Amino acid sequence: MVFNSYTFIVFFAIVLVLHNLPFAWKTKKINLLLASYLFYALWNPPFILLLWLSTVVDYYMAKLIAIEQRPRNRKLLLTVSLVLNLGMLSYFKYGGFLLENFTALLSAMGIVYQAARPDIILPVGISFYTFVTLSYTLDVYRRKFAPEPSFLNFALFVTYFPHLVAGPIVRPEDLIPQFKTPRRATSEQLSWGLFLLSLGLFMKVTIADGLLADPADLIFGLPFPVQSLDAWMGVLAFSGQIFCDFAGYSTCAIGVSLCLGFELPDNFRYPYAAIGFSDFWRRWHITLSTWLRDYLYIPLGGNRHGAFKTYVNLMITMLLGGLWHGASWTFVVWGGLHGLFLCLERFWRNRASRRRAMRTDAIPVESVVSRAAVIPPIRLSNPLAQFGLAMLTLFLVNITWVFFRAPTFGGATLLLLSMFGVIPNGAPMLTNLAILTVSSVTIGIILCHWLMRNSSLLALSKRLPWWGLSLGWSSLLILVILTQKSSGSFIYFQF
């Protein structure tokens, strides 16, 4: 069951009605929990056992960790949780990948080994709910969050259906406190939640699937070079598709949750208007980037042990972030490129900060050293310079998307060579209409992100007259209905 299906509309209507009936708060939470299990089980019922196992183990491990005072035993209990969660994730998501690379390694050493290819089905959402449960256990271990005494609240925190299969990746403080007291959406929350659901479906159904999916699939699926313009159009189509697909799902999830009276964290803030890669990751898949920062980058040492160690920590974090997306070396390269660009940006900002500090004659040496260590972000006052750096960032982001989308390194290399005209006489594949469509949508997305980069959709909606908002909402719904037949599943379900 997905948000862009008629089945979900019926499901959500029933859940919404039950949630607003005069039942006890505990009964309403049980209804939400059962609905969440049904939401997940309709994909593949047996895999709900993995969800139960992860929920039960982390609930009791966290309680034991909280009461245990001996550091060694606390680490042992944490290890049990990590091994179980990461072990399940590794087997189901990376089992085939690890076996394939092990076989290749033996072959390179001259050892012939043919293993039977494992028939492993990837449970939908396992990467997301694994990070949700791990964040809870790790926060309890660090004594940042007290263990939740109610198993019902914790189980609902893990399995709450709006975020279950593709995020946002919630932290315990995001959701558990909201389950402690009765909640019901206000009329403003309900109307805004329904609008966000409509907007998310428009982004997914009309833009991602209706306008951009076919050009992207065509160009990335070809085994031969194409004209440079067609190659760029294919990459830009995927760039817009993955944003509208994933941000569309997150918008739907936030809207659905708001209709029930619960708030989920933002996951996207106009990332294609980012000025630099650090800004990009403050705007793209925010709940993943902050998770990787808090539970991987900072524990590795962050920027506390010198420049070289900082660059190493950045690269490790982004390489593992790439691998989180999929069991393929192309995803690792995608993450590695982002890590490289983050390191280059940090190096540039370090150097610029030192130069500014050296030119500051009136400031004491101690103050200069302190300011240089902080490395404040460079703020460009010239709007044209800001826009130029944003376009450079977007250009490099699109280069990385080639490795994210291409099924093989050969396909990625062929497409990159076509994009930069290294391979002459490429075949023309896209029609003029397709080129015009991709160009128009891309320009529209960039302008929308740039104009909204320091604002919010809610603030904008409050400035619009009621008839303007109603007209826009009606148009979204009509376009979603007209293009519904071409819609497919969300891209991030495969992760």
Question: Domain residues of the chain, as ranges?
Answer: 6-182, 189-363+387-494
pLDDT tens profile 391-450? 999 999 999 999 999 999 999 999 999 999 888 778 888 899 999 999 999 999 999 999
Report whether 193 contacts 392 (CB < 8 A).
no
Nearest to 407 by CA among 487, 323, 330: 330
Report whether 250 contacts 265 (CB < 8 A).
no
Whole-Å CA distances, 413 to 169, 225, 403, 410: 33, 10, 9, 5
Task: Say yes or no to pLDDT of 286 above 70.
Answer: yes
Nearest to 464 by CA among 257, 190, 195, 207: 195
pLDDT tens profile 237-281? 999 999 999 999 999 999 999 999 999 999 999 999 999 999 999
Nearest to 162 by CA among 134, 133, 188, 200: 200
Distance CA 283, CA 319 (A): 19
Q: How confident is the model at residue 166 (pLDDT cuts 50, 70, 90)?
A: confident
Over range 210-223, report the average pLDDT.
92
Distance CA 393, CA 274 (A): 7
pLDDT tens profile 365-399? 334 333 333 344 445 667 788 888 999 999 999 99
Active site residue 305: no
Looking at residue 384, what is its pLDDT? 83
209-213, 385-389, 454-458, 483-487: lowest mean pLDDT where?
483-487
Q: In terms of pLDDT, which residue wins out, 146 or 481?
A: 146
Task: Say yes or no to pLDDT of 216 above 70.
Answer: yes
Task: Say yes or no to pLDDT of 356 above 80.
Answer: no
Task: Say yes or no to pLDDT of 487 above 60.
Answer: no
Distance CA 144, CA 172 (A): 10
- Tell me whether residue 52 is exposed, middle or buried, using C-beta atoms within 10 angstroms of its C-beta: 0 to 12, 13 to 18, 19 or more: middle
Q: In terms of pLDDT, which residue wins out, 98 or 162?
A: 162
Return the exposure string of 335-348: e unless at least 16 CB atoms fall within 10 Å of the residue's CB, then b: bbbbbbbbbebbee
Nearest to 476 by CA among 206, 189, 192: 206
Among 19, 163, 285, 325, the one annotated catalytic: 325
Distance CA 55, CA 50 (A): 8
Q: Cis link prior to 168 (omega < 30° from 0)?
A: yes
Write down the residue that tokens 């593992």 correspond to. Answer: 320
Looking at residue 354, what is its pLDDT? 74
Q: What is the 3-state secondary structure (H, E, C) of the chain?
A: CCCCCHHHHHHHHHHHHHHCCCCCHHHHHHHHHHHHHHHHHCCCHHHHHHHHHHHHHHHHHHHHHHHCCCHHHHHHHHHHHHHHHHHHHHHHHHHHHHHHHHHHHHHHCCCCCCCCCCCCCCCCCHHHHHHHHHHHHHHHHCCCCCCCCCHHHHHHHHHCHHHHCCCCCCCHHHHHHHHCCCCCCCHHHHHHHHHHHHHHHHHHHHHHHHHHHHHHHHHHCCCCCECHHHHHHHHHHHHHHHHHHHHHHHHHHHHHHHHCCCCCCCCCCCHHHCCCHHHHHCCCCHHHHHHHHHHHHHHHCCCCCCHHHHHHHHHHHHHHHHHHHCCCHHHHHHHHHHHHHHHHHHHHHHHHHHHHHHCCCCCCHHHHHHHHHHCCCCCCCCHHHHHHHHHHHHHHHHHHHHHHHCCCHHHHHHHHHHHCCCCCCCECCCCHHHHHHHHHHHHHHHHHHHHHCCCCHHHHHHHCCHHHHHHHHHHHHHHHHHHHHHCCCCHHHHC
Looking at residue 305, what is its pLDDT? 86
Radius of gyration of the chain (CA): 24
